[in-house]
């Protein structure tokens, strides 16, 4: 169930990393987002909850 919420969170944060998205696990804090470079044309976007430590990441093509 939280898997679907992570997918929703990821789809929002892929477009707008400054969006306020509640943690899919605890639902009580907004996810913190930061990017790292992943090769020439992708970034890895990390999403972490400052409250419970839940974490996920997604790859994003930055050449589009
Ligand atoms: Zn949380």
| Residue 31, SS3 per DSSP | coil
pTM: 0.88
48: CA distance to ligand 1 center in Å?
A: 8
| The pLDDT of residue 32 | 98
Residue ranges of domains in the chain: 2-61
Q: Under CATH, which number does the domain 2-61 receive?
A: 2.20.25
Q: What angle do CA 49, 44, 28 make, to 5 degrees?
A: 15
3: CA distance to ligand 1 center in Å?
A: 13
3-59: per-residue pLDDT in tens? 999 999 999 999 999 999 999 999 999 999 999 999 999 999 999 999 999 999 999
**Strand ranges (E), the chain:** 32-37, 42-48, 55-61
Contact 13, 45 (CB under 8 A): yes
| The pLDDT of residue 1 | 57
Give 3's strand partners.
none
């Amino acid at each position: 169930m939280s898997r679907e919420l992570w997918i929703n969170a990821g789809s929002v944060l892929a477009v707008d990393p400054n969006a306020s998205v509640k943690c899919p696990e605890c639902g009580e804090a907004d996810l913190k987002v930061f990017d790292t470079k992943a090769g020439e044309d992708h970034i890895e976007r990390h999403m972490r909850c400052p409250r419970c430590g839940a974490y996920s990441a997604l790859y994003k093509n930055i050449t589009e």
